[in-house]
Amino acid sequence: MAKKNYLKIEYTVTLLVIIAVVLMIIPFDFDNEAQADFISRWQDKYSRLEYMFSVISAHEKEEILKSFQRAKTADEREQLMINLIQPYFRIHKQELPRRYVPKFMNKISVPASSKYYFTDTYSSENGMIVGIKDLDCNNSDEPKFIMMFDINGILPPNTWGKDIYGVNIYESGMEPFGQRIPMKELEKDCSIFGTGLGCSYYYKIGGGFND
């Protein structure tokens, strides 16, 4: 009888250990699967942006630049950018709820003083949030605008490098955040020790993700 009870206890302990291991593995697999989906969707959006710029002929590009130069305010320049993007992303103005608080990958909330804090946001397909910011820069080597793409909108994690990615818009075209960062710095930035901004480029070149 004692032996039978011992076997029963041993079986129960073994079962509990198995359950605990499964519970630890499932969230990890789910997070990885979700992250892989975010990256895939970001790569799709970036390809669409690349296509958008590629279809602008040299003549159209010249006319667009002239239009931006004639614009007198940031609002006018932003509207020109919206008109350019509209056929590809079908965006419309959206005021975000207060609970929407984007974070860097190191879990620090993006402060209102940050270059990467967006007040002008738009809703796009599948609930994606698009942010546009005019940098009002006259240097042709510096970006004129920056854009953010929160792939799954107001749903969490609302974190740069997880579901939020971004691009710099120059007179000559665009590039993802992080493209000009050395690889070692890029790997660190695209981790829990960094901002996650560089992930926009890091994942595009096949970098792995690590929670």
Burial of 173 (0-12, 13-18, 19+ CB in 10 A): middle
DSSP reduced 3-state for 129: strand
Residues 6+ apart with CB under 8 A from 135: 115, 142, 143, 144, 145, 146
Q: Is the pTM of this model over 0.85?
A: no
- Taking only the tens place, the pLDDT of each residue in 110-162 is 999 999 999 999 999 889 999 999 998 878 789 999 999 999 999 999 999 99
**What string of DSSP letters covers 162-186?**
TTEEEEEEETTEEEETTTTS-HHHH
The yes-or-no verdict on residue 23 having pLDDT over 50 is: no
Residue with more model confidence, 21 or 68: 68
